[in-house]
């Protein structure tokens, strides 16, 4: 018998996409489903950046430079400068989405059997990229009770072994929405210096901070060789389908090594590099407007959630996610039940069970992630559904 | 000291791109460089498929399905039917270039330490993808004397071990242009059945066959579970920058496993999927015209090469590459010398040393690859340069 690889067996299926067939079945029954389950923003991609692609007039759709177009990297230097990050064009490799930046980092910094520490709950696909790279994820638990603040430094110290090579931090966080403070970032700095680790910083939601200011890992001083920024334009400009991200580091040895991975796959997508380049020229009020809309939604969803008996939702400082603790037996069962067995005025809501974001088995069974990527009216309707659902759910505890 | 990974150290630098600084320096000195070194077609991307992107009118640049847009996969079913390949939409995963299709295949079918057999010379980036997947490439030598025909079956038998999981075949071949016959494909079929192996078929240049007809690995009967097609639109439609390819297999277990890798990276690029979908509707004469142009160039370059004293170039049956044996000491030195120390009427030519396409050290020192991606007039001018260069080269043997 032909066999698939062990890593293919170990590769986790998407915890978010596994409920899709139930949602499709519900829709076929005539039920309207409010999608709070995925991080696909509904906010329109700015017209001027789509137009930059539509008005392009090249004759041959050529490979770009393996590191991405130089003109785009030059623009990005300006973008990063605006957010307090000083880098040069040769410290940036344009990637195919943030996903590829993460894979490049895992591949270039770690060998099979090496360990990476990630506060959980975390972005589920880090697991998949770890399997691809043959590395081991060591989760450290953060708690909904503290709003998913950085776990105590002792927990990191306990998890660090001779095999540990890196810490991954997503800030502001997906799935928790937590915004790490400058003091917490300094703790991470101490750790990476003391134990000689890389700090992989996923800052996809940098612009969407509602409380306090964002401290980038690239703002930390004296750790230039340690810090790798894994960036993406997907959420920033509602441009998920462009598949454009960036691998950014001041570590010369690392960027040179990573260029070899970039060369092997030839180049990042050309069309969306045009879009990304145009996005740097968006007026400053673009983020103000977008952020105001997300903040309004956050306030709405958090208020509505906390008003439901038995529900607790800490106020997320950034991104467009909220994690809520529900009075339920099992979030996987509950989310499936919402699609399979429940409706209110022919409507229901699709949520992401938090179990998929925890690496430790058994965690997240009473938690769900809600992506506020639908407008306030839809959020209110979805919360009406959730409120009624929690009253009706047989597994309520 | 922070270390990069061993695989990052092992990762090969692009053998084609290492000469770029010498080409840039030559251009700064006022020398015109004819680029026969890379497979970037000069032929214009069909306007109607670029226009499909330019006239698109969506509002949000969303993630597509992880397997690619269903509408595109439906169209592709029709495209494959035209070339005698019967597949369904759920046997196709749209990938980010052919590169990603190859990585998916290596990752999903093989574990670290497993072996893959590839006739050499071969597409250099297979080496990089093998390093990423931790697998070992076992080359089998094909010879310029036989025009790079499939090596004898005994050579495969000798190379197969308990660790062997797959054979990679690129047909028509990059870098040799060799078009494998139906009889050779049948030999591969015998091998994969006897030894229970996967057959990875890279058929990027399927449409560009000048002698005889193309036998796809997907035409082989009775080996549905063995065959994986790693496809791309890059060369077919001069759309390299789109980064759109496809992973195609009738093996249900394998495609299900591969979908997990596809889900982890979310989706292939959205813009170029529109282009790919439109390309399926190009009139049939598109390939006739393009193929006629490439054939004219092939005839020109092969005739010119064989007319130079001491040069031998077998007539390639497909793709847009020719491999030539030159009367030189070392192809790396020669190609660098062409850029650094030679010019004829202020012009020179950039070639790819064949050493980068051989996995066995020492092979390819008298061979170069020429990509005929410039027009006939430019090819003639480039051949004038090469002829004079071979007269002047100090390392001539």
Is B321 in a helix, a strand, or coil? Answer: strand
Residues of B in contact with A261 (CB under 8 A): 8, 11, 128, 132
B61 with A40: Cβ contact below 8 A: no
**Beta-carbon neighbour count of residue B293 at 10 Å?**
17
Contact residues, B window 253-282, toward A, CB-based 8 Å cutoff = 253-254, 257-258, 260-261, 263-272, 275
* Average confidence score pLDDT of chain B: 97
- B106 is written with which tokens? 């290596």
Distance CA B334, CA B324 (A): 13
Residue of B255, B265, B270, B277 to mutate, testing the A interface (most A Cβ within 10 Å of its Cβ): B265
Chain B residue with Cα closest to A65:
B241
Residues of B in contact with A197 (CB under 8 A): 2
Chain B residue with Cα closest to A197:
B2
Across A7-21, A279-293, A348-362, least confident range: A7-21
Nearest to B156 by CA among B201, B203, B188: B188
B96 with A243: Cβ contact below 8 A: yes
With beta carbons less than 8 A apart as the criterion, state whether B19 and B335 touch.
yes
Chain B residue with Cα closest to A243:
B269
Q: Following DSSP, what letter does each residue of B175-186 receive, concatenated?
A: TT-----HHHHH
Which pLDDT band, with edges at 50, 70 and 90, does B374 fall under?
A: very high
Q: Which residues of B301-310 are buried (b: 16+ CB within 10 A; e: fewer)?
A: bbebbeebee
In sequence order, the β-bridge partners of residue A115 are: A136, A164
Residue A198 CB contacts under 8 Å (≥ 6 apart), including other chains: A105, A109, A165, A166, A167, A192, A226, A227, A228, B2
B44 with A54: Cβ contact below 8 A: no
Which pLDDT band, with edges at 50, 70 and 90, does B16 fall under?
A: confident
Residues of B in contact with A272 (CB under 8 A): 61, 269-271
Calculate what percentage of chain B has a pLDDT beyond 70: 100
Residues of B in contact with A240 (CB under 8 A): 61-63, 266-267
Is A115 in a helix, a strand, or coil? Answer: strand
On the question of pLDDT at A16 being above 90, the answer is no
Residue A330 CB contacts under 8 Å (≥ 6 apart), including other chains: A365, A395
Q: A7: burial class by Cβ within 10 Å (0-12, 13-18, 19+)?
A: buried
Residues of B in contact with A60 (CB under 8 A): 41-45, 238
Residue B382 sits at the chain A interface (C-beta within 8 Å): no
Distance CA A154, CA B145 (A): 67
Structure confidence by residue, pLDDT tens digits, A93-102: 999 999 999 9
Give the distance, in angstroms, between the CA of residue B56 and the centroid of all CA atoms in the same chain.
30
Structure confidence by residue, pLDDT tens digits, A306-352: 999 999 999 999 999 999 999 999 999 999 999 999 999 999 999 99
Contact residues, A window 305-364, toward B, CB-based 8 Å cutoff = none
Distance CA B194, CA B156 (A): 12
All structural domains of chain B: 6-44+285-392 (3.90.1150.10), 47-279 (3.40.640.10)
Residue B2 sits at the chain A interface (C-beta within 8 Å): yes
For the range A291-298, what are the long-range contacts, defined as Cβ-Cβ under 8 Å and sequence gap of 24 or more?
A: A291/A207, A291/A208, A291/A209, A291/A210, A293/A43, A294/A208, A294/A210, A294/A320, A294/A372, A295/A210, A296/A376, A297/A372, A297/A374, A297/A375, A297/A376, A297/A379, A298/A177, A298/A210, A298/A322, A298/A372
Structure confidence by residue, pLDDT tens digits, B48-92: 999 999 999 999 999 999 999 999 999 999 999 999 999 999 999
Q: A78: burial class by Cβ within 10 Å (0-12, 13-18, 19+)?
A: exposed
Mutual angle of helices B20-28 and B331-340, in 10-degree steps = 20
> Which CA distances in Å does B224 have to A6, A240, A394, B86?
21, 35, 47, 11
Which pLDDT band, with edges at 50, 70 and 90, does A77 fall under?
A: very high
Q: What's the average model confidence in pLDDT over B271-297?
A: 96
Task: Output the CA torsion A98→B276→B95→B235 (10° steps).
Answer: -110
Residue A393 CB contacts under 8 Å (≥ 6 apart), including other chains: A328, A334, A337, A342
On the question of pLDDT at B14 being above 90, the answer is no
Distance CA A330, CA A364 (A): 8
Residue A82 CB contacts under 8 Å (≥ 6 apart), including other chains: none
Residue A390 CB contacts under 8 Å (≥ 6 apart), including other chains: A308, A309, A310, A311, A326, A327, A328, A396
Question: Could you give the angle at the alpha carbon of A46 between the alpha carbons of A42 and A49, nearest 5°?
Answer: 135
Q: What is the pLDDT of residue B17?
A: 77
């Amino acid at each position: 018998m032909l066999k698939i690889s062990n890593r293919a067996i170990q590769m986790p299926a998407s915890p978010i996409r596994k409920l899709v067939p139930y949602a499709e079945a519900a829709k076929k029954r005539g039920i309207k489903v409010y999608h709070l389950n995925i991080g696909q923003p509904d906010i329109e991609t700015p017209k001027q950046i789509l137009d930059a692609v539509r008005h392009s007039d090249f004759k041959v759709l050529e490979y770009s430079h393996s590191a991405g177009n130089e003109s785009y990297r030059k623009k990005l230097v300006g973008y990063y400068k605006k957010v307090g990050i000083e880098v040069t064009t040769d410290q940036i490799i344009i990637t195919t989405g943030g996903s590829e930046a993460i894979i490049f980092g895992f591949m270039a910094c770690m060998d099979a059997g090496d360990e990476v520490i990630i506060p959980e709950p975390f972005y589920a696909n880090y697991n998949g990229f770890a399997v691809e790279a043959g590395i081991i994820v060591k989760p450290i638990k953060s708690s909904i009770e503290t709003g998913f603040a950085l776990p105590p430094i002792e927990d990191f110290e306990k998890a660090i072994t001779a095999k540990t090579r890196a810490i991954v931090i997503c800030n502001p966080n997906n799935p928790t929405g937590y915004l790490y403070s400058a003091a917490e970032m300094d703790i991470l700095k101490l750790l990476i210096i003391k134990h000689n680790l890389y700090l992989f910083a996923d800052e996809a939601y940098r612009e969407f901070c509602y409380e306090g200011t964002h401290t980038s890992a690239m703002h930390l001083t004296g750790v230039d060789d340690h810090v790798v920024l894994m960036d993406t334009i997907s959420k920033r400009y509602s441009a998920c389908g462009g598949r454009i991200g960036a691998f950014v580091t001041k570590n010369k040895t690392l960027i040179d090594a990573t260029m070899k991975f970039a060369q092997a796959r030839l180049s990042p997508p050309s069309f969306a590099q045009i879009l990304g380049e145009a996005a740097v020229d968006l007026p400053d009020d673009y983020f103000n407007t977008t952020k105001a809309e997300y903040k309004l939604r956050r306030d709405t969803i958090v208020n509505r959630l906390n008003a439901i008996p038995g529900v607790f939702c800490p106020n997320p400082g950034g991104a467009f996610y909220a994690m809520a603790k529900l009075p339920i037996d099992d979030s996987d069962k509950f989310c499936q039940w919402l699609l399979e067995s429940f409706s209110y005025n022919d409507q229901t809501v699709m949520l992401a069970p938090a179990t998929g974001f925890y690496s430790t088995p058994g965690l997240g069974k009473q938690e769900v992630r809600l992506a506020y990527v639908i407008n306030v009216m839809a959020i209110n309707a979805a919360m009406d559904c959730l409120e009624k659902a929690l009253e009706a759910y047989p597994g309520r505890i």
